[in-house]
Amino acid sequence: MGANQAAQSGNITTFDVYSNYDKKIPISGGIAELHLYESILDYTVRATAVFADTGNRIGGQGVSALEKGDLQLTAGEKTDLVVEDNYGQKLVYKDDYHLRIKEVKNIMEHTQKVFYTIDFYSKECIDNELNDTRITKRYDGKITDSIYKILKTDCIKTQKEIEVDPGLNHFNFIGHVEKPFHKIPWLAKRCVPEMQGAQGNYAGYFFYEIADNGNKIAGGYKFKSIDKLFGQSPIRKLIFNNTTSLPVSYDGKILEYSFDNTVDLHRQLLSGAAFTTKLKALDMYSNQYKETYFNASKQYNETNTGGLEAPRLAYDLDLQNKTIRTFTKIKDTGVLKNLDEKDKLNFDIDAILRQSAMRYNNLFTTKLSVAIPGDFGIHAGDIIHCDFPEVSSKDNQDVSNRKSGLYMVVDLCHFIRGNPGQTFTRLNLVRESIGRKPH
């Protein structure tokens, strides 16, 4: 795949809204702007469309569709949407992956045109609010097994694909009549991935949804370990340079970018994400008190990080070897255990609590935002390799070994202006370390 032009052409091939008033309304011809969103911090894909009604878009006759009653939208309407980029890659929001109208807003009327802004999200967001889908039962066993049951068989009962990274730890819990999309992120913080060296060092998952590509392979719900996400191979290799050509071995050009790699020392001290933390734990069953320590350096492994090393903070003060934050917890020995397991832990706070909190916090150490020609093959949670030139006065600049390297897509927006129209993709990327890995 290559991209030598500033923008690609995107095409909205299907955009049908099934009105609550028993009408199928094709609105693709009236779309002025379309934004498609994905994020590892969101449990649904989202879309926002700006629709321009000039009286000739729907039904013709020079009269606004709103005035004629041809565009009667309230909220909750089923919507089928299919878009295609210049590479032939599709995003398909239909059938089991269809969208629902969340809100029609910002209606701006003039004498000859009307503009609507329409927000869309997944049907499961509606299901999540129903009493019938609340989590009411007790779950035993591995967290990852419980996640699948909540989404597929017990509560949401989604027909979408579900991809769950295998987990190591067992955790018994009661639903407490909570909403599934509230409970699952709570469980994500308590899950340890099934990978070498994970026990006692790595913890933390993300729960999110990505769009389908038409083959029902890429789309659906993801319950993914942070460390396994960074263990993926990069899906794209992008470069920013001052020429119009695309060097060999790169997939696309970065049109513009902005870095936020400033580290707030005080914030790092408050979170303790980059230092040593202490856990004070009391076991009420055995009446034992214990203090343990965990150093964040144990989480920096080249196989599951974006860069080569953690940034050094106030190095002359030797903060890395000093205790920065203290956690205080009561162990839940015997909680939700059988009588023959009453002396066993339900949740190992020594091996999970701090590791999860620190992993979430240090992931966002370096933030990068890039704009590229529209590319619908990139999804939230993907790994992207980005190369940037070093700042120098040399005729032939080398690649910056500090800024370049692997980044994770936290969220993205595909933007289409008109139909067909210019298409761009904006990626918000993060990583916890610095340095460009050799490849």
Would you call the peptide bond into 420 cis, given omega within 30 degrees of 0 as the criterion? yes
Res 4 pLDDT > 50: no
Helices (H), 363-416: none
CB burial string 414-427: b at 16+ within 10 A, e below: bbbbebbbbbbbbb
28 DSSP assignment: G
Q: How far apart are CA 322 and CA 193, in angstroms?
A: 28
154 DSSP assignment: I
Res 196 pLDDT > 80: yes
How would residue 382 be classed by pLDDT, with cut points 50, 70 and 90? very high
Q: What is the pLDDT of residue 439?
A: 65
Three-state DSSP at 95 gives helix
User: For residue range 242-294, what is the model confidence (pLDDT) as tens digits?
Assistant: 777 888 999 999 999 999 877 788 888 888 888 999 999 999 999 999 999 99
Domain boundaries, the chain: 265-362
Q: What is the pLDDT of residue 341?
A: 86
User: For residue range 399-429, what is the model confidence (pLDDT) as tens digits?
Assistant: 888 899 999 999 999 999 988 889 999 999 9
Cβ atoms of residues 245 and 262 within 8 Å: no
Whole-angstrom CA distances from 287 to 58, 95, 278, 283 are: 73, 56, 19, 5
Res 108 pLDDT > 90: no
User: For residue range 40-88, what is the model confidence (pLDDT) as tens digits?
Assistant: 999 999 999 998 877 555 555 544 455 445 567 889 999 999 999 999 9
Contacts of 293 (CB under 8 A, 6+ apart): 276, 277, 278, 279, 323
How high does pLDDT run on average in the chain? 89
Dihedral, CA of residue 129, residue 49, residue 259 and residue 273, to nearest 10: 0
Helices (H), 315-391: 349-362
Kindly give the pairing relationship between strand 421-431 and strand 405-418: antiparallel
Q: Looking at residues 317-323, what average pLDDT do you find?
A: 87
Q: What is the pLDDT of residue 264?
A: 83
